[in-house]
Amino acid sequence: MDKTFDQAAFVNRLGEQLIEEFSGAGFATTPHGVGSARESSARAKLEHLLPAGVGVSSGHVIDSYGSTSKQVDIVIYERDICPIFSISDPPEPGSTYFPCEGVIAVGEVKSSLDKRELDNAAANIASVQRLQRYAEEEYDVVEDRGDCVQFRFYGSRMGLSGTPEQDYNQATKSADRIMGFVLAGELGVSSSTLASQLASHIGSAYTEWATDTVAILKEGVFVPVMINEGGDADNAYLAHSHDEGKPDGLANVTNPHSFSDGDGIYYVSVDGLRASSTTVLGVMIAEVYYAFYNRRTVSVRAFQEYFVEGGLPGGGVVYR
């Protein structure tokens, strides 16, 4: 009896089931039914595989300045920290709103991905990226400065501060932005055509066209890369840009947070992933894990702004 557990095979089977459910969703009789069936299957798979305290839903993302994103298929959020505004009970995608400060990642789900569908997905993700998290300046006793902008890591309620270089700033630091991904069942164009389209958006403004990972269950994974001096993308060790201690001769390509920060496209086919005992779905989930543990958001005090702007209002009466 085989007592070992093959996690790659397990995740691969989940991917196969997801593909089957993508296909099954096509039997729905209305476009809304097709989308709901497809998106629900993806959310259920992610819910089981992500860390405790992480919720998976769909809907709109909002900020405390009055802006609302387009509806997105998958919203991955801090379930134990982030408030949810839902007009319906139980929550439904078209009437559920998530404050951007508690959103870790958003994703678009497509049965088949072609150039038009990718542009639509990237535009939806960019509508989330345009939202402004409430990052207020405050006095830091340790650093003795009054313009500190605290940050925190997802899942934690503790605000942190440091040097000016460590301040939270989503405009200049990709690690301070919400992750975006596209998940599809199959490609409607060739992998080279899709790679060319992704390459055309290298360096694009993240507020206009945004995605960090493109995963096609039957084809492979596309991620942005930065080719370092002397680098060779055909012989690359793929590592996140902050990693150190990589083997000599392999540390020539790094994986930035988004296509807007990269200078190239790295594509790994299903066969290539299989040779490394890895799966498409596994890579995408690993990227979400990376975002959860390494990207940053703002202090939990930001959630107060959705209920009382700037603290208690004036005009009251004090009694003694």
Q: What integer is the mean pLDDT of 45-70?
A: 91
Query: d(Cα 274, Cα 283) in Å, to the nearest integer?
Result: 11
Strand-strand pairing, 54-62 and 96-99: parallel
Query: d(Cα 25, Cα 153) in Å, to the nearest integer?
Result: 36
Nearest Cα to Cα of residue 305 among 132, 104, 173, 87: 132
Query: d(Cα 154, Cα 246) in Å, to the nearest integer?
Result: 26
Query: d(Cα 259, Cα 118) in Å, to the nearest integer?
Result: 13
Q: What is the pLDDT of residues 217-240, one digit of tens each?
A: 889 999 887 766 555 444 333 444
**Could you tell me the pTM of the whole model?**
0.83
The pLDDT of residue 158 is 92
The pLDDT of residue 221 is 92
Contact by Cβ (8 Å): 198, 265: yes
Query: d(Cα 137, Cα 114) in Å, to the nearest integer?
Result: 43
Domain map (residue ranges) of the chain: 7-306
Three-class SS state of 69: coil
Nearest Cα to Cα of residue 59 among 29, 100, 27: 100
The pLDDT of residue 233 is 47
Q: What is the pLDDT of residues 130-175, one digit of tens each?
A: 999 999 877 665 666 667 888 999 999 998 888 888 899 999 888 9
